[in-house]
Amino acid sequence: MMQKLWLKIRRAGFELYSFFTAPFVVKNCLGLLGFFAGLFLLTFWWLKCYTNHGESLQIPNYVGMGMQEAGQKARSRGFEVIINDSIYKPGRPPGEVLSQNPVAESRVKEGRTIYFTVTKNNPDIIRMPDLIGSDDYDLYSRKCSRLGLKPRILARVAHPKLAPNTIVAVLHRGDTITQEIRRGYKVEMGAILDFIVSEQVTLTVEIPDCICQTYDAARFLITSSNLSIGAVVRDASVVDEQTAYVWRQTPKFDPEGVMRVGEQIDLYLTQELPAGCRE
């Protein structure tokens, strides 16, 4: 029994050996192995070509170049070029590269797209902020600067009814545009705006000496000093105010004393020339 089983196994092994060693089988097996080996090598080569053999290129710095020059140099190194934004810059020529992405010295694969931001020829038109509720120069000038405008103070003027640093007038190219701003005045980006603003100045003048002066002369002294006449007190002798004399004033005359512009001086009149006065 065992001998018969062993003979069958030997016969089967011989038949398998005869099959795999047959010329046509060996030829087919070798062809199949060659096909898969070639497929593997071709796939590996394609992957290496696709990834550029693991190599990368360093991006040069194109900022500051003209767009035409930068584009030619970038394409000569195998990069694609796209302008994704343009900005007006006063004093800069149109088409100048302002920034690039990826930035200079970055390492990228060949064929990578570089995005440029360049200057443009014509400035944007900006609508000036409204002055209503925003007439403080510091606040308003910051708004203008954020829009690309250039505010500056042309002059400061004393204004008794306005808080310091309040915008009194706005000028553009020599023309006053204060009222036009409320109607949506538009200017070019980068435009220079001139402002006249208020300032707090306490002006003082010397106290005039009105004693022994006629009322008419004293009134001239007071008004010419940018002061005003307060109370006029007449004694019983006054019959003609214009020819009456000042015998007292408040505040009193002081050679070193000063008064604020617009303050009042009270005058006390008598008809006859006061004692001690020279005609």
pLDDT, tens digit, for every residue of 21-44? Answer: 556 555 666 666 766 666 666 766
Residue type, 81: V
Cβ burial of 202 (10 Å; 0-12, 13-18, 19+) is exposed
User: Is the distance from CB of 232 to CB of 245 less than 8 angstroms?
Assistant: no
- The pLDDT assigned to 43 comes to 66
Closest CA to 223 of 184, 262, 260, 189: 262
| Mean pLDDT calculated for residue range 77-95 | 85
How many whole angstroms separate alpha carbon 107 and alpha carbon 269? 96
- The pLDDT assigned to 74 comes to 87
User: Is the distance from CB of 132 to CB of 182 less than 8 angstroms?
Assistant: yes
What tens digit of pLDDT does each residue of 121-155 get? 888 888 998 887 778 999 999 999 998 899 999 88
Residue 18 vs residue 84, higher pLDDT: 84
User: Dihedral of the CA atoms 79, 81, 87, 92 (nearest 10)?
Assistant: 60
Domains and CATH numbers, the chain: 57-119 (3.30.10.20), 125-199 (3.30.10.20), 204-270 (3.30.10.20)
User: Is the per-residue pLDDT at 277 higher than 70?
Assistant: yes
- The pLDDT assigned to 180 comes to 86
Residue type, 72: Q
Q: Helix or strand or coil: residue 13?
A: helix
What tens digit of pLDDT does each residue of 156-180 get? 887 777 888 899 999 998 888 888 8
- The pLDDT assigned to 76 comes to 87
- pLDDT band, very low/low/confident/very high, at 46 (cuts 50, 70, 90): low
Q: Which residues contact 116 (CB under 8 A, 6 or more apart)?
A: 62, 67, 70, 81, 82, 83, 84, 97, 99, 100
**What is this structure's pTM?**
0.44
- The pLDDT assigned to 23 comes to 64
- The pLDDT assigned to 208 comes to 92
User: Is the per-residue pLDDT at 6 higher than 70?
Assistant: no
Average pLDDT, the chain: 82
Q: Which residues contact 111 (CB under 8 A, 6 or more apart)?
A: 78, 79, 80
- The pLDDT assigned to 106 comes to 83
Residue 241 vs residue 47, higher pLDDT: 241
User: Is the per-residue pLDDT at 117 higher than 80?
Assistant: yes
User: Is the per-residue pLDDT at 244 higher than 70?
Assistant: yes
